Amino acid sequence: MRIYLTSMLILCCLGLSARQSGRLTISFHRTTLDTAFRMLEAKTGWHISFEASRTKGIMVAARTFKDADPDAVLSSLLAGTPLGFRRQGISVLIIPRPVSKTLSGFVSDVVSGERLPGVVLAVPDFRQGTVSNTFGYYSLTLPADSLRLQIQFMGYRRLDTVLLLQPDTRLNFALEPMSQVLGEVTVKGSKNESIEQSSQMSRISIPIAMVGSTPRILGEKDLFKTLQMLPGVKQGTEGTSALLVRGGTPDQNLILLDGAPLYNPMHLMGIFSTFNTAALKDVTLYKGAFPARYGGRLSSVVDITTKDGNLQKMHGEASIGLLAASLSVEGPLKKDKTSFIVSARRSYPDLIATPFVKKGEKAPEKFMLNFYDINAKLHHRISEKDQLYLSIYSGRDHMRFKYKDVKDENAPNDYSITDANVGWGNHTGTLRWSHVYSPKLFSNAMLIGSRYRLKIHNYTEDKYDGEINANRQKLHSGIEDYGGKIDFDYRPNPAHTVRFGASSMYRIFTPGIISQKQTDNGEVVMDSTNSNQRVRGTELDVYAEDDWEISPRFKANLGLHWSAFAVQGRFYQSLQPRTSMRYLLSGNWAVKASWSRMTQYIHLLANNTLSLPTDLWVPATSRIRPQQADQFALGVAKNLWKGKFEFTAEAYYKNMRNIIEYKDGAGYLTTGLSDGWQEHVAAGKGEAYGMELLLRKTTGRFTGWIGYTLSWSNRQMDQVSNGQTFPYKYDRRHDLHILLTYKLTKGIELTGSWMYQSSAPFTVAVGRFEHAEVPGYGGVEQFAGRNNIRLVPYHRLDLGANFIKHKKNGMTRTWNVSVLNAYNRFNPSFVVQNWRDVAPGKLEVRSVNFMPVMPSISYQLKW
């Protein structure tokens, strides 16, 4: 904290020193302004020109300046008068003081009416500008009566206009998409704010169109698999959609869907992420330098905004792949006033498989294996100043196998039933109200509800000789969030963008509650629950940040985030400094640095090398402390080759404290109906550091990026791996990703991606010893530590092609053909140790590959 305050002080000093020049000492008695001008002329050698009618009758109070900046002296003399000045060398012109006027409004898409976030509004004559916020709102305050405004957003036609400003001018702009203007030109990209101009680092926005272009697994577009291609982000186990950012764990990602947190947003045991890209508008990933407005997770923020729905006319999109089919419809309920979007997706292999499965010899009575997700949003413009949004998301996976077995033909009434039922999913809802208080002040208030739930139900029933015994077990786990949030966006002048706000979330954790009920001929013989009880806690967050352009070369985002968590009689609190800054070197090279402290009040307990929905979400409690991390980053950024390429290089160091894992051999699945989870976890620390390079092209027919990461990630816990430091399970030293998309013709788009990763660590036994009950038999494996061997590097080439046809009836159809792992590289996903026929002094492991060459095809129709 002391370092933070010192840095703030230095920044302020730098801001002041940037304006200092020659010095003078002068004293004024009470006199007229004209006389004061003459005295100043005599001291400085300036020529001060003014209209006498404007200075007539203005008196100057007695004052003395010592070693003062002459500009400051003149400003002081004019303070409180309606006059200002302009100086060029020794010529000074006294002019009427220009009155600051504010221009504000929204920027939207002219076709759909969709609000556009991240649009750059530049005023070249003043060398000032601003960027629209998440809701497309902008505000510019300038001392001018008129101005020339340039509005730019990637994929849209640039708008140049001259405006006459009134004291509070309110103007909404509608940008025309490039595709409407130029037909076949492909322009993809993200926010147009130059990476050199922004003080933000470690942030990447991914165009949704890019997600659609990348090669697909089983024909499904997957947002997280595209994010995994970025430097600093690792995929975890092959084929899964887990995000591991800068050495962090999957639970350390704050995944916000329209502001509501999602937990374990995975389908099919983690193979796909739960986002239906048809409903998405904007995705931004923060790997570090977290702005103060975000909090609650250590390693990343994935801020996802869904579309508002077309305000002008109905549109739709349908697609079908090898795994799932989806349908999305959007349009106006009342033109220019109210819009909606509904998007739904369901996997269907079980629909096809069920008739075949049921024909089998041991056919299940019930069989289900599917997932679905639904996104819906309602957007209503109450007035020019008020907007209302209602967003709902529901996604769920379901597996069920029910068997009924009649073993004895002579006793057909005797049977046994086994019914295994597993389901997990997220349900979220947000109600948002955005309001413009004044041209400089904007707010967004939200009511948020989010629920993640895992349930495993096992039921067995046995009827024999007239007796019926039944045993029902249920495991419930999950997390519920209910709360509110308010954010303010205040833009007093172009040099400052101030954000502040607060939130309160009431969280209910269900950390693996197991209940069991036994009946014997209908009589309940046992009905009980384990000792894991629901834990309730309240999290409070307050923040403020200022994106401050201290000088044209120096910009800083200074913020503070305070959070607190009240749980089980404990009150944890944390003050988290957030700083990022940019200094422009010659040649427009931006040097950036950041420091952010993050505190996380939830933990994820996993006892597999793979992230599964059965992992438990548990809170910080009176015994288990919250996780905390400090991350430092330093980097450079520059637009190269006339702005066609973006280049960033960043080095980072992150240390994590109070991270928890199951003790060796523990787990709620393994300790059975045991006591509380808190007895089975160990707390420790983690450390991650490395360097990332990214060269990215966002415009033209050829787009994509090359990303490289050099990284280390380690853990140390006293009760895991004998207390030794061990590499995190996804620690890989080198990581190279190349993702390229080329628009060959109007109707053909080609994509290829290649990734290379150093070998991942695995755990193997280093010895063997006697089993206590079988003397003479060395049946027990001895482990020296976790993740003690590495095998071979990982690399994979994925190819894809989109064949697009714009039909005369206005529809657009797209065939996507993808081939994953095109050269069928064997990449070890897991290893199993071999014991037989192993040469002395050797270890032998058999590895398993999840993803051999895998072709797929999908079809999409838009109207």
Contacting other proteins (CB under 8 A), which of 51, 405, 408, 718? 408
Closest-CA residue to 304 (of 246, 261, 245, 240) = 261
Torsion of CA 846, 849, 852, 857, to 10 degrees: 160
Region of residue 722 (phi > 0: left; psi between -120 and 50: alpha; otherwise: beta): left
Site string for other proteins, 567-606 (x = CB under 8 A): ----------------------------------------
Site for other proteins, residues 672 to 731, rule: CB under 8 A: 672-675
If binding is defined by CB under 8 A, does position 778 make contact with other proteins?
yes
What are 404's strand-pairing partners?
Answer: 417
Closest approach, Cβ 781 to other proteins, in A, equals 6
User: What's the closest the beta carbon of residue 847 comes to other proteins, in angstroms?
Assistant: 5
Would you say 722 and 716 are in contact if contact means Cβ atoms under 8 Å apart? no
Among 571, 777, 815, 823, binds other proteins (CB under 8 A): 777
Candidate ranges 215-223, 294-302, 659-667, 710-718; the one touching other proteins (CB under 8 A): 659-667
Pairwise CA distance, residues 751 & 210, whole Å: 10
If you search the block for the tokens 């629209």, which residue do you land on?
Answer: 132
Output the CA torsion sign for 187, 191, 192, 196.
Answer: negative
189, 212 Cβ separation under 8 angstroms: no
**b/e 331-356 (16+ beta carbons within 10 angstroms → b):** bbeeeeebbbbbbbbbbeebeeeeee
Residue linked to tokens 């409903």:
279
Q: Which residues pair with 590 in a beta bridge?
A: 584, 637
Closest CA to 755 of 731, 739, 770: 739
Residue 20 structure tokens: 């200092």
* Residue with smaller CB distance to other proteins, 116 or 616: 616
Stretch that binds other proteins, among 107-115, 292-300, 624-632, 661-669 (CB under 8 A): 661-669
> Whole-number minimum distance, CB 391 to other proteins, in Å?
32
486 DSSP assignment: E
Which residues ranging from 218 to 247 are in contact with other proteins (CB under 8 A)? 237
- Take residue 752 and report the two structure tokens written for it: 């290829």
> Does 353 contact other proteins by CB under 8 A?
no
Out of 312, 421, 469, 551, the residue judged to bind other proteins by CB under 8 A: 469
Measure the CA–CA gap between 197 and 201, rounded to whole angstroms.
Answer: 11
CA distances from 702 to 1, 140, 166, 624, 835 (A): 46, 35, 44, 50, 51
Is 406 among the residues that bind other proteins (CB under 8 A)?
no
- In this complex, which beta carbon is closest to other proteins, that of residue 57 or of residue 776? 776
Q: Tell me whether residue 286 or residue 662 sits nearer to other proteins (CB atom).
A: 662
- Nearer Cβ to other proteins (201/819): 819
Does residue 783 interact with other proteins by CB under 8 A? Answer: yes
d(CA 684, CA 663): 11
Given candidates 66, 86, 642, 842, which one binds other proteins under the rule CB under 8 A?
Answer: 842
CB of 198 to other proteins, least distance (A): 41
Q: Is 813 or 825 the residue whose CB approaches other proteins more closely?
A: 825
Q: Which of residues 416-435 bind other proteins (CB under 8 A)?
A: 418, 422
- Residue 504 has which token pair? 């309160």
Strand-strand pairing, 173-175 and 101-109: parallel
Binders of other proteins in range 815-834 (CB under 8 A): 824, 826, 828-834
Q: Which is nearer to other proteins, 39 or 789 (CB)?
A: 789
CB of 177 to other proteins, least distance (A): 43
- Window contacting other proteins (CB under 8 A); options: 318-326, 488-496, 644-652, 843-851: 843-851
Report how many residues bind other proteins under the rule CB under 8 A: 95
Q: Does 413 bind other proteins (CB under 8 A)?
A: no
310: part of which helix (H) or strand (E)? Answer: none
Binding of other proteins at residue 838 (CB under 8 A)? yes
Residues in 517-546 that interact with other proteins by CB under 8 A: 518, 520, 525-526, 528-531
Among 608, 622, 745, 746, the residue binding other proteins under the rule CB under 8 A is 608
Interface residue with other proteins, options 183, 775, 809, 810 (CB under 8 A): 775
Q: Which residues are CB-contacts of 5 (< 8 A; sequence separation ≥ 6)? A: none
Residues numbered 724 to 753 that lie near other proteins (CB under 8 A) are none
Q: Interface with other proteins includes 857 (CB under 8 A)?
A: no
For 691, what's the count of Cα atoms within 13 Å in the CB-facing half-sphere? 5
Of the residues 325, 682, 765, 861, which one makes contact with other proteins according to CB under 8 A = 765
Cβ neighbours of 190 (radius 10 Å): 21
Residue 79 binding other proteins, by CB under 8 A: no
Our CA angle for 461, 463, 465, nearest 5°, is: 160
Kindly tell me which of 421 and 504 has the beta carbon lying closer to other proteins: 421
Q: Which of 171, 649, 849, 857 binds other proteins (CB under 8 A)?
A: 849
Choose one: 121-129, 307-315, 625-633, 778-786; the region binding other proteins (CB under 8 A): 778-786
Q: Does 840 bind other proteins (CB under 8 A)?
A: yes
Given candidates 46, 403, 415, 464, which one binds other proteins under the rule CB under 8 A? Answer: 464
Q: Which is nearer to other proteins, 252 or 821 (CB)?
A: 821
What residues from 485 to 514 belong to the interface with other proteins (CB under 8 A)?
Answer: 514
Tell me the torsion sign for CA atoms 758, 649, 191, 132: positive
**3-class state of residue 179 by DSSP:** helix
In this complex, which beta carbon is closest to other proteins, that of residue 368 or of residue 495?
368
Q: How far is the CB of 245 from other proteins (least distance, A)?
A: 22
Please report how close the Cβ of residue 725 comes to other proteins at its closest, in angstroms: 17
CB of 626 to other proteins, least distance (A): 24
Residue 170 and residue 149: Cα distance in Å, rounded? 14
Partner residues linked to 703 by β-bridges: 741
Q: Which of 5, 164, 333, 411 binds other proteins (CB under 8 A)?
A: 411
Q: Does 786 bind other proteins (CB under 8 A)?
A: yes
Site for other proteins, residues 5 to 34, rule: CB under 8 A: none
| Nearer residue to other proteins within complex by CB, 464 or 803 | 464
Q: Which two tokens stand for residue 692?
A: 């990332």
Q: Pick from 585, 403, 557: which is nearest to 495 by CA?
A: 557
Q: If binding is defined by CB under 8 A, does position 466 make contact with other proteins?
A: no
> Which of 31, 471, 504, 724 forms a contact with other proteins (CB under 8 A)?
471
Give all strands (DSSP E) within 50-118, no chain letters: 59-60, 63-68, 83-88, 91-96, 101-109
Our finding on whether 671 is near other proteins (CB under 8 A) is yes
* Under rule CB under 8 A, residue 792 binds other proteins: yes
The half-sphere exposure of 121 on its side-chain side, counting CA atoms within 13 A, is 31
* DSSP class per residue in 289-302: S--TT--S-SSEEE
Only segment of 155-163, 297-305, 544-552, 665-673 that touches other proteins (CB under 8 A) = 665-673
Residue 179 is a binding residue for other proteins (CB under 8 A): no
Interface residue with other proteins, options 780, 811, 815, 823 (CB under 8 A): 780
Residue closer to other proteins by CB (options 81, 518) is: 518
Interface region with other proteins, contact rule CB under 8 A, candidates 71-79, 190-198, 290-298, 786-794: 786-794
Q: What's the angle, vertex CA 181, arms to CA 176 and CA 183, rounded to 5?
A: 130
Which residue in 382, 385, 422 sits closest to 401, CA to CA? 422
Q: Considering the complex, state which of residue 96 and residue 779 has its C-beta at the smaller distance from other proteins.
A: 779
Alpha-carbon distance 789 to 783, whole Å?
12
The residue with tokens 């995705």 is: 283
Burial status of residue 210 (CB atoms within 10 A of its CB: 0-12, 13-18, 19 or more):
buried
